[in-house]
Amino acid sequence: MNHVELTACIAELSALRYTPAGIPAANFVLEHESEMLEAGVTRQVKLTLKAVAFGSLAEQAIKLPLSKPFRFTGFLINARTSKGVVFHIQAFEIFEQVLNPI
């Protein structure tokens, strides 16, 4: 299964563009920072990830503020022009972090 959920901030967001088929598209750079438990040890995790959204999601996404956390869901594919991966966004929502839950 190729399903990714990531809480991240938008570090960079391109202008809306259109594919040759006329579908709206927006390119992103997402930044994530958290602490994860690995092998019993807390680890600082930082990553930067290229992402893209198409259609109405792209039209909505270009209006999003930078540096505000969102929860993104989607899938990963190999990038066409490099050896990395691209996160294809299928949904997003504002991430409301709960501090000190009761």
Tell me the pTM. 0.86
34 domain-assigned: yes
41 domain-assigned: yes
67 Ramachandran zone, left/alpha/beta (phi>0; psi -120 to 50): left
Domain that holds residue 43: 4-94
> What CATH number has the domain bearing residue 13?
2.40.50.140
Domain count, the chain: 1
* pLDDT one-digit tens code per residue, 25-80: 999 999 999 999 999 999 999 999 999 999 999 999 999 999 899 999 999 999 88
